[in-house]
Amino acid sequence: MSVHINAKKGEIAKVVLQPGDPLRAKYIADNFLKNAKLVSQTRGIFYYTGIYKGKEITVGASGMGFPSIGIYSFELFTEYEVDTIIRIGTCGAYTTDLKVFDLLNVENAASESTYAKFAWEIEEDIISHQGNIFDLINQTAEELSLKAKATNIHSSDIFYRKDPNIPAIATKYDCPAVEMEAFGLFANAKHLGKNAATILTVSDIIPTHENISADQREKALKPMIELALESAWKSI
């Protein structure tokens, strides 16, 4: 057991899918994995390990923001010897060039956050995906006839802000959308020499306020979940 995950050694697979929401982790376990077992529920953060096409995969929540995914991904990488984490989540688009339901495969995450600097002395404000899982996701998307755009993303500490303008760092690094976890995950993986990727579904278009409705979400997120599972399966 680690500090924040109470699974026993051997109960977490080598590849983990990380949605932010514990209930989304449960949904994936219930609907996509066979013989899924709840292996951790400390603080209401659920982790399930089950079988997908004959191979063991774990799905568990990261929570929101760098502090939360920083803790969970670090403990998975170090205490449970996880090799690969694929974050799956939603993002808001800064531009109408993106549409709701679009899939993004994050190439680089840019952030104003000091997380990487003070945790690992990584001074850069942009960090790339780690390992070969990014390329495997691109390859798998083509095989599934899914359009997964390789892109930079703005990873922000802030959800609500006074200034409505696109933050300078997003403009600097040509980030068409924003989320809150990829930079932290990539920083941990870079420091530890692990594999990490982030697949996102565009859920909101910030300039127009268009968004995926609550009753559309399960259907909308299915392509992302299937892409992540297929990529995870191939990586094992």
- Alpha-carbon distances, residue 183 vs 7, 27, 61, 211 (angstroms): 26, 25, 16, 24
| Torsion angle in degrees (nearest 10) through CA of 26, 31, 35, 39 | -10
SS3 string, 151-166, reads: EEEEECCCCCCCCCCC
- Give the closest residue to 165 by CA, choosing from 212, 206, 114: 206
Choosing from 21, 125, 157, 204, the catalytic residue is: 204
Residue 220 in tokens: 């909308």
Interior/surface letters 184-214, b for 16+ CB within 10 angstroms, e for the rest: bbbbbbbbeebbbbbbbbbbbbbeeeebbee
Contact between residue 88 and residue 228 where contact means Cβ atoms under 8 Å apart: yes
Instruction: Kindly write down the DSSP assignment for every residue of 134-151, as one continuous string.
Output: HHHHHHHHHHTT--EEEE
Q: Does residue 157 have an active-site annotation? A: no
| Lookup result for tokens 């892109």 | 151
- Cα gap 180→20, rounded to integer Å: 10
| Positions marked catalytic | 204
